[in-house]
Amino acid sequence: MQDKNGRPDPTRGRGASHNPPNRYHIINREPFTPDPEGTDLSRPSPITRFFPDTARTVLTTNDSPDIGPGQSVNPYRGCEHGCVYCFARPTHAYLDLSPGLDFETRIFFKEHAPELLKKELARPSYRCQPLALGINTDAYQPAENLLGLTRRSLDNLLSMRHPVTLVTKSSLVERDIDILVEMARLDLVHVHLSITTLEPELARRLEPRAATPNRRLQTIRTLSDAGVPVGVMVAPVIPVLTESEMEHILEEARSAGARSAGYVLLRLPLELGDLFERWLEEHVPDKKAAVLSAVREFHGGKLYDSRFGARMRGTGVRANLLEQRFRLQVRRQKFPGLTSLRTDLFTPLPQEKSGKNILKSLFPDFS
């Protein structure tokens, strides 16, 4: 559909309005529109569907110099929050799906993630280091309210005294405050709330099914008051659209109890460039040219620079000024920082034997 000015019409309740072509497909299909004028057609939001992911392993390691060596677990693939700028969208192409609407309406869940995690951490060769839970897609997206994979994983990590970090846009993290408080008491957890903008209407369009900005600030306050170490991520910083809000976000987050802060510049890898351009045309057409020009200014004339050290911060005068603004405001707000996570308490749980092996140990002739 199109509005009266001929602009494409957004899909209600979703970040993306279409499915851009999968980069691995040779043939791409476009939906048939019986009314090209779009005058009488309604465009309801597509429903979300869930599929089990039969992954045999869940622990992923990385050696990225941008975020440092580490490991992560992602219970979900795809994310119903629908953040149009999500850098993980192109990964849906690996599932033979589109990084557009498919990413936020076709959610894959690793139903055995908590058990697989416990098994992998119990290997004799494993050496304990902090683990990031839900680093690609939000571990507290709406599906978690039904499936509880993140809570079960946290429960296992607490049992093993294993350190973990969380980054989320969801207030659902408050549900697990009982586990988080116990982990905090042992210096085993850091929680970070990601805030893109403090403008409710802009947030609704950018990240339609995530918690509102004020609700995220309340979550920071709730966790902080409970003694859980919490920080804020100004992420992503979108040139022109949200770039001017950095100082205000940091001020509000510090007032709510955030102890640390970070930021990440907008990233537009692969299909995400086309998707974001389409979003700009649909929601802020008068700012589209300025936003894209500024993005290119941050990335040496391109929409995206994949080089380590540049992809998350940008390069050039504008990028340097942004970093200076961030550092100055962190000093002004006196963020104290977070204490280090402990790894010396780690105690792997013994592997559970199958029923047959248990019976065989009791009854040697059992087969």
User: Tens of pLDDT along 156-168?
Assistant: 999 999 999 999 9
pLDDT average, residue stretch 210-233: 98
Question: Across residues 53-59, what is the average pLDDT?
Answer: 91
Residue 213: inside a domain: yes
Query: Does 366 fall in a domain?
Result: no
Residue of 335, 328, 336, 334 whose CA lies nearest to 247: 328
Task: Note whether 229 and 189 are within 8 A (CB).
Answer: yes
Residue 120 banded pLDDT, cuts 50, 70, 90: very high
- Tell me, yes or no, whether 236 lies in a domain: yes
In this structure, the strands spanning 70-73 and 60-62 are: antiparallel
Report yes or no on 203 lying in a domain: yes
Q: Is residue 27 part of a domain?
A: no
Number of Cβ atoms within 10 Å of the Cβ of 120: 15
Residue 15 maps to a domain: no
What is the average per-residue pLDDT within 208-218? 97
Among the ranges given (29-43, 150-164, 184-198, 309-323), the one the predictor scored with the smallest mean pLDDT: 29-43
pLDDT at residue 306, as a whole number: 84
Q: Is there a contact between 149 and 110 (Cβ–Cβ < 8 Å)?
A: yes
Amino acid in position 107: I
The reply to whether 345 falls in a domain is no
The domain that holds 184 is classified in CATH as 3.80.30.30
Q: How many domains does the chain have?
A: 1
Angle at the Cα of 208 from the Cα atoms of 205 and 214, rounded to 5 degrees: 90
In this predicted structure, the answer to whether residue 25 has a pLDDT above a threshold of 90 is no
d(Cα 149, Cα 211) in Å, to the nearest integer? 20
Give me the phi and psi of 306, to 5 degrees please.
-85, 0
pTM of the model: 0.87
What average pLDDT does range 244-249 have in this prediction? 98
Check pLDDT > 90 for residue 359: no
- In this structure, are residues 280 and 240 in contact, taking their beta carbons and an 8 Å threshold? no
Identity at 256, one-letter amino acid code: A
- Sequence-separated (6 or more) residues with CB below 8 Å from residue 235: 194, 195, 196, 262, 263, 264
Radius of gyration in angstroms for the set of CA atoms belonging to the chain, rounded to a whole number: 22
The whole-number pLDDT of residue 22 equals: 74
Q: Is residue 355 part of a domain?
A: no
Contact assessment for residue 83 and residue 15, using Cβ atoms and an 8 Å cutoff? yes
Instruction: Report pLDDT for 15.
Output: 74
Range of the domain at 91: 49-334
Comparing 41 with 340, the larger pLDDT belongs to: 340
Nearest to 278 by CA among 93, 21, 106, 46: 21
CA distance 366 to 360: 5
pLDDT digits (tens, 9 = 90+) for 86-96: 999 999 988 88
* Confidence grade of residue 3 (pLDDT, cut at 50, 70, 90): very low
- Alpha helix (H) ranges present in the chain? 101-105, 113-121, 142-147, 149-160, 177-185, 200-206, 213-225, 246-256, 272-283, 288-298, 317-333, 355-362
